[in-house]
Structure 1
Amino acid sequence: MADPCASEGGLRRAARVILLDPADRVLLMHGFEPGDPSLTWWFTPGGGLEGGESWEEAARRELAEETGITDIELGPVLWTRTCSFPFDGRRWDQDERYYLARTEQTPAWTGGETELERRSVTGLRWWTCEELFAARETVYPTRLAELLRTLLDEGPPSTPVLLETERA
């Protein structure tokens, strides 16, 4: 069956969110491989576009579904990338856009709307840039600490930055 979130090139279109709180901490989700819970990582909220929704609509919907956070100021696209990774017995090929968003709503929960989310996400955490640089765990995108430091120091880029392709 074809992926309903795939674009014409076969890539799944995914809107991701760099959500910052008033202290400039970024919200990340803790996930794991359902078939091997010892394989864990941290990642940004977000997911595939559904139906005819826009990238921005998908970013807002995914953030609300995955974290319960709905009171956000959605900003510009910061970064774009293509990635490919194995997860839950299949390969995912994605065209991703990372949106900047800010919120005052720091309590969050991992309700997860889909069955896959419920069996592959264990929690949420607000991270400072310094904590990301010191992290020994895997974080996606892999250069998030450096990218966040640049964002906080220089502000959003005038046009989205194309990140290197990641393939796991």
Structure 2
Amino acid sequence: MRARRPAARILLVDGRGRVLLFRFSPADRPPFWVTPGGALEPGEDHAAAARRELREEVGLDLDCGPEVARREVEFLTIEGVEVRADERYFRVDVDACEVDPAGHTELERQVMQTWRWFDRAALAGHAEPIFPVDLADLLAATEPADVRHA
């Protein structure tokens, strides 16, 4: 039986329309890329977890705004636990930012040493897996009305 894992994920988008992804390199499987975010802590709601994860993983302390998407996915965590994750997505648009890894956990320092900003073309043509698999569609669906391209 899979463990339940409520989680908050952040679609962090810069002024050039690029999304920030972290590359995970676990010892037990090939590398993959994911958005910032992670599991809720006890007593925490999704919005509070999104803010905490953004602060810990990126170094930004911002209100992440309203939830823009929700999905349930099953996967094996870095710690080796089979989970069914209830992921809530929050979109945060910034002009620009540099990742500050000071808040990374020891495990994150081991498996999450690389990050980069991806534009839509780079998402489509990337050789390593990117999660969520429909990230480009999710970004398009959550784009603020004042920046949508016709």
| 1:40-66 deviations in Å (ceiling 9; x for gaps) | 011010111112222111101011111
Contact 1:81–1:97 (CA under 8 A) maintained in structure 2: yes
Amino acid at match of 1:45: P
Equivalent pairs, count: 144
Kindly report structure 1 stretches of 4+ aligned residues shifted beyond 4 Å: none
Q: CA deviation at 1:124?
A: 1.3
SS of the equivalent of 1:130 reads: helix
- Which residue, out of 58, 81, 105, partners 1:114? 105
State the alpha-carbon separation in 2 of the partners of residues 75 and 130 from structure 1: 27
Q: Percent identity?
A: 36
| 1:119-167 deviations in Å (ceiling 9; x for gaps) | 2112111111121122222000011122223433868xxxxxxxxxxxx
More strand by share: 1
- Which residue, out of 46, 66, 72, partners 1:76? 66
Q: Which consecutive residues of structure 2, in runs of 5 or more, have no partner in the other structure?
A: none
The aligned residue for residue 22 of structure 2 is 29
Q: How does 1:56-95 map to 2 (within 5 A)?
A: 56-70=47-61, 72=62, 74-87=64-77, 88-95=79-86
Amino acid at match of 2:67: V
TM-score, normalised with respect to structure 2 = 0.83
Contact 1:34–1:119 (CA under 8 A) maintained in structure 2: no
- Which residue, out of 17, 40, 43, partners 2:10? 17
| 1:38-97 deviations in Å (ceiling 9; x for gaps) | x10110101111122221111010111112122x45232221111111233321221100
Q: Which consecutive residues of structure 1, in runs of 5 or more, have no partner in the other structure?
A: 1-8, 156-168
State the alpha-carbon separation in 1 of the partners of residues 63 and 121 from structure 2: 24
The aligned residue for residue 129 of structure 1 is 120
**Residues 13, 26 of structure 1: alpha-carbon distance in 2 compared, 3 angstrom cutoff:** same
Q: How does 1:153-168 map to 2 (within 5 A)?
A: none
